[in-house]
A and B are shown apart, each in its own frame.
Chain A
Amino acid sequence: MERTLRAFGLKEEALVQDDANRARSSVRPGGWKWRLFVRSFLLQAVWNPRGMQDVGFFFAVAPLASTMDEEERRAFLKRHMSFFNTNPVLAPYVIGAVARAEMEGRGAEEAAEIKKALGGLLGMAGDALMWGGLRPAAGLIAAAVALYGLQTGAWGVWAAPIVMLVVYNVPHIFLKARGVVRGLDVGPEAASELLGKGFRRAVLATRWAGAFAAGFVLALAASGTERPGVPTAVVMGAFLVLGAVAARLRIPSTLVAAAGAIGGIILMVNGFYGG
């Protein structure tokens, strides 16, 4: 508990929950959990370079205002219509924790701190897991399924999109739902539950799974041509090196791919189809 508090830079007295508070918050959650969960899907609707997810965050927690008196409500509106940015998949952990603090009348003291501390922490962690790991992995696994299906006729064209949607969305929706539920139930501690050793392992596992799928796709692609021959292998090898160099130099992959496609088209114009 102490370690968690230090990690989030929060004051102990602000977080310690007595039994009465726990009982009070446990009476309300059902409907709130659902409303916060649904609204969290619109967090980035008005994303802007100045306040980033400011409007989205306010929109997510806005229903809480209906439970407040006029004075509390004015302070609440001002508090939450302000800069906020985090990873959208893990944002419900912040939304849930802030909602809990507001429901227990501690919003004025804690909400800003929770948003700042958890927003940054979960932003980095969520970007590593979801954008750096799971999403590319889901896409590459789907690409492998697609290519294998196209070459062997093993399954229909729907297999790849379904794989993409399932591999990504099962963890996505689970994390969002769990974020709201645990955030409301235990507050900011929910984030430290999430970011244990298992989290780092999950990030590595998704990255390696994606890389494995990329290698698998490459093998299928190299073998899938009617006339693999030297030129195609040379082109693929050259672009493998070029792509690695471009990634190091932060040259957009769009440019490298477009250059390759145009090169291929020029060869096609000259009657060389390469497979």
Chain B
Amino acid sequence: MNDGVAVVILAMMAGAVAVDTTAALQLMFSQPVVSGTLAGVVVGEPATGLMVGLTLQLVWSGVLPVGGAGFPDAGVAGVVGAGSAGLLVSRGHPAGWALATGLLTALAMGWVGRIAVTRLRRRNIQLAERARDAVLAGDLGGARRAVLRAIGFRFSVASVLSAAAIGLTLLIADMLLPGTGPERYPALVWAAPLAVGAAIALSRGWGERVSVVAGLAVGAALIALM
């Protein structure tokens, strides 16, 4: 598939994932392990997408999207990170560099997405006011229009930002990445996110701490048996 076409498809996918994050459905297609894998499939690198997705899943497993709290746009970041990494692999970059670049791009996109979501939500105040005026004037369709517009804004902003992020990543990576490097996802790059995910679970209470240790023991036993 042409890279340009892939970027357009990834941008549309990022828009849909953004809508699933909070605006509609919330079926968790917006979780990075899902969105990253789907993005990887689009660019023909599903394992790369899964690896980026699962790393982001661990990094952001403790984020609570509660009330007015800002949160990283994890689902969109999954699409951008996994899509970028997959495209870099298909362009001949060593997998290790592609994955590390994809992960960093995703972390940056999560942060940009957080700002974008906060701004869109402020903009929603106007939409809500207009809807309220219309409804109180007897126009029931005012609420429906506000819902559709808010979803449309969320989709469009996420799509445009994602296309720009992937395009920029490919451009910079093509210029800067060395031609040789590891073909695997280097442990030192994903060790930190994995440990962060476990640390979040460890920091919550005794039940969680005991469960982490139990999981660790079962995992180690399973590995020893294999």
Q: Is the CB of A55 within 8 A of B207?
A: no
Cα(A242)–Cα(B122), bound, Å: 34
B219 x A215 contact (CB < 8 A): yes
From the candidates A78, A218, A262, name the one contacting B195 in the complex (CB within 8 A). Answer: A218
Interface membership of B16, Cβ < 8 A: no
The one of B33, B37, B178, B188 that contacts A273, using a Cβ cutoff of 8 Å: B188
Contact of B219 among A74, A88, A204, A216 (CB under 8 A): A216
Q: Are A45 and B150 in contact (CB under 8 A)?
A: yes
**Beta-carbon contact of A207 and B22 below 8 Å:** no
In contact, A219 and B37 (Cβ under 8 angstroms): no
- Which A150-191 residues sit within 8 Å CB-CB of chain B? 150, 152, 157-158, 160-161, 164-165, 168-169, 172
B125-147 toward A: CB 8 Å interface, digit per residue (1/0)?
Answer: 10110011001101010011011
- With A210-B201, A268-B181 as known contacts, state yes or no: A232 contacts B188, CB within 8 Å: yes
Query: In the complex, A143 Cα to B50 Cα: how many Å?
Result: 9
Contact pattern, B 23-57, Cβ under 8 Å of A = 1, otherwise 0:
11111110101100110110000110111011001
Size category, A interface: 35 or more
Contact A55 B131 (CB under 8 A): yes
Instruction: Give Cα A262 to B62, complex, Å.
Output: 21
| Contact (Cβ within 8 A) A243 B57 | no
Residue B5 lies at the interface, judged by CB distance under 8 Å to chain A = no
Alpha-carbon separation in the docked complex, A216 to B184 (Å): 21
Q: What separation, in Å, do the CA atoms of A85 and B191 have in the docked complex?
A: 38
Question: What residues of B have a CB within 8 angstroms of the CB of A226 in the complex?
Answer: 184
- In the complex, what residues of B have CB within 8 A of residue A51's CB? 125, 128, 132
Please tell me which one of the listed residues B38, B190, B197 contacts residue A140 in the complex, with CB atoms under 8 A apart.
Answer: B197
Q: Check if B199 sits within 8 Å of A246, measured CB to CB.
A: yes
In the assembled complex, B212 has its CB within 8 A of some CB on chain A = yes
Contact in complex: B96, A268 (CB < 8 Å): yes
In the complex where A160-B37, A261-B193, A264-B188 touch, is A169 in contact with B207 (Cβ < 8 A)? no
* Chain B residues whose CB sits within 8 angstroms of the CB of A241 once the complex forms: 199
Q: Name the A residues within 8 Å of B187 (CB-CB).
A: 221, 224-225, 228, 232, 235, 273-275
Q: Is the CB of A211 within 8 A of B209?
A: yes
Contact of A165 among B34, B59, B201 (CB under 8 A): B34
Stretch in B7-15, B103-111, B161-169 touching the partner:
B103-111
Which B174-195 residues have a C-beta within 8 angstroms of A? 178, 181-182, 184, 186-195
| B side interface size, CB within 8 A | 103
B212 near A211 with CB under 8 A, answer yes
Select one of B29, B54, B111, B146 contacting A146, CB under 8 A.
B54
Q: Is the CB of A239 within 8 A of B125?
A: no
Which among B57, B127, B184, B196 has the greatest number of chain A C-beta atoms within 10 A?
Answer: B196
Q: Does A65 contact B (CB under 8 A)?
A: yes
Let me know if B58 is at the binding interface, CB within 8 A.
Answer: yes
Q: Report if A143-B54 is in contact (Cβ < 8 Å); known contacts: A45-B150, A59-B144, A157-B46.
A: yes
- In the complex, the answer to whether A158 meets B37 with C-beta atoms within 8 Å is yes
Asked whether B216 lies within 8 Å of A216 as measured between CB atoms, the reply is yes
Separation in Å of the A77 CB from the closest CB of chain B? 5
In the bound complex, what is the Cα–Cα distance between A136 and B64 (angstroms)?
9
| B4 close to A (CB within 8 Å) | no
Determine whether the beta carbon of B192 is less than 8 Å from that of A263: yes
B57:A212 contact, CB within 8 angstroms: no
The CA of A54 and the CA of B125, in the complex, are separated in Å by: 10
Residue B115 interfacial (CB < 8 Å): no
Pick the residue among A50, A62, A150, A211 that contacts B207 (CB under 8 A): A211
Inter-subunit contact B203/A260 (CB<8 Å): no
Residue of A at shortest CB range from B27? Answer: A169
Q: Residues of B contacting A244 with CB < 8 Å?
A: 199-200, 202-203
* A131 at interface, CB cutoff 8 A: yes
The answer to whether A256 and B196 have CB atoms under 8 Å apart is: yes
- B190 to chain A minimum Cβ distance, whole angstroms, is 7
- Give A260 to B108 CA distance when docked, in angstroms: 14
State in angstroms the CA–CA spacing of A51 and B197 once bound together. 34
Closest to B107 in A: A258
A221 to B23 CA separation, bound complex (whole angstroms): 34
Cβ of A253 < 8 Å from any Cβ of B? yes
The docked-state distance in angstroms from the alpha carbon of A209 to that of B192 is 22
Known: A44-B23, A215-B214. A143 touches B226 (CB 8 A): no
Q: Chain B contacts of A157 at CB under 8 A?
A: 37, 40-41, 46-47, 49-50
Can you list the 8 inter-chain pairs with the closest CB atoms, starting with the nearest?
A260-B192, A215-B215, A219-B219, A243-B199, A275-B187, A264-B188, A211-B211, A239-B195
- A sample of 8 more A-B contacts (CB under 8 A), given A48-B125, A135-B28, A142-B54, is A139-B61, A160-B37, A219-B217, A219-B222, A223-B220, A241-B199, A243-B198, A261-B107
